[in-house]
Amino acid sequence: MNQANTSHQAVLVKEVLEALDPQKGCYYIDATFGRGGHSREILKRGAKVIAFDFDKQSIETAKELFKKEIANDQLILLRENFSKMQDSIKNLKKSLDLEISGVLFDFGTSTEQLMSKERGFSFEAQEETLDMRMDDRLGVRACDLLKLLDEKQLAKMLFEYGGETDARAIARKIVEQRKKDPSSLDLVSTLVEIVEQAKGRHYGQKIHAATKTFQALRIIVNDELGNIETALPQALQILRTSKAANKRLVAIAFHEGEDRLVKTFFKQIEADNLGKLINKKAITASEEELHHNPRARSAKLRAVAL
């Protein structure tokens, strides 16, 4: 497998830099640090970064990869949910003279998370436990959900968060399997088999039959939409109370649920005369980027200037 498949390639990097416009010596929040692809470019401009990631492995790797920037006080790493951003910044302000110039969100999972061997994010990792927690301090794993929710709730979840049109058939099969052998639902392979049976294998389709089911579970396990809803107003408030000039709020969404929240929130900022959309339409990846990084296919960037 080549490098592009195994390590995270940041999406829309040029477009993020244009929208965020990082300035030397100013502070930016990278709410979703991942492998630090965006942060690295922001740091190269001489700006400072306060980075959030609730995944222990992302933070541990970052400590190794960004030793110099951490030692120079150019990068502050926080293992924290971005939904607690406001409290974290308040805490930092006790010891640092800090005005935030911009906040960046790049939602979803990193390639490292998807490819990691023991976390159960991918339907290709058949022998793994169906876990899917990005933050291992969270209480409920994906396999727990399959055992806890009733058939109706399962179907609703798969339809609403994955857009899975065969949600009811899949939910029925999950419940049947649970009656026969509940512990088998701990394994990725059991869910993949269930989905393939319920949907048919859909050979020749562009995406794997289980893609939507896995997406729905991941969103729920990590409360992805709830976190975005909580964090966007906090990011706005941090920027509104900052004395910095030329402030920017930038977000990259990968699916409809995320993008709807961003789009609605940003439009409201403009309607309330608190800021201005930098582009009327979401920015998407160029043909050239798609050629190198197919993951950028569904990325949509929106930005406001405050």
Ligand X SMILES: C[S@@+](CC[C@H](N)C(=O)[O-])C[C@H]1O[C@@H](n2cnc3c(N)ncnc32)[C@H](O)[C@@H]1O
Residues that bind ligand X in the complex, under the rule CB under 6 A: 8, 10, 32, 34-38, 52-55, 58, 81-83, 106, 108-110, 134, 227
Nearer Cβ to ligand X, position 36 or 275? Answer: 36
- Long-range (24+ apart) CB contacts under 8 A made by 256-262 are 256/163, 257/161, 257/219, 257/224, 257/225, 258/107, 258/108, 258/224, 258/225, 258/228, 259/300, 259/302, 261/225, 261/228, 261/229, 261/232, 262/105, 262/228, 262/232, 262/302
The three-point CA angle 257-225-240 to 5° equals 105
Closest by CA to 165, choosing from 123, 199, 192, is 199
Cα–Cα dist 84/229, whole Å: 12
State the minimum distance, in angstroms, from the CB of residue 83 to ligand X. 6
- For the chain, give percent helix, strand, coil, nearest 5: 50, 10, 35
State the minimum distance, in angstroms, from the CB of residue 226 to ligand X. 9
**Edge-to-edge, what's the strand order for the sheet holding 75-78?**
75-78, 48-52, 27-30, 100-106, 248-253, 300-305, 276-277
State the minimum distance, in angstroms, from the CB of residue 303 to ligand X. 15
Describe the crossing of helices 167-180 and 188-199 by its angle, rounded to 10 degrees: 130
State the minimum distance, in angstroms, from the CB of residue 85 to ligand X. 9
Nearer Cβ to ligand X, position 195 or 299? Answer: 299
Nearer Cβ to ligand X, position 41 or 196? Answer: 41
Nearer Cβ to ligand X, position 40 or 147? Answer: 40
Nearer Cβ to ligand X, position 111 or 126? Answer: 111
State the minimum distance, in angstroms, from the CB of residue 203 to ligand X. 30
Tokens matching residue 152 = 């109706």
Nearer Cβ to ligand X, position 58 or 190? Answer: 58
Helix (H), strand (E) at residue 27 = strand 27-30
State the minimum distance, in angstroms, from the CB of residue 232 to ligand X. 12
State the minimum distance, in angstroms, from the CB of residue 36 to ligand X. 5
Nearer Cβ to ligand X, position 78 or 187? Answer: 78
DSSP character at residue 62: H
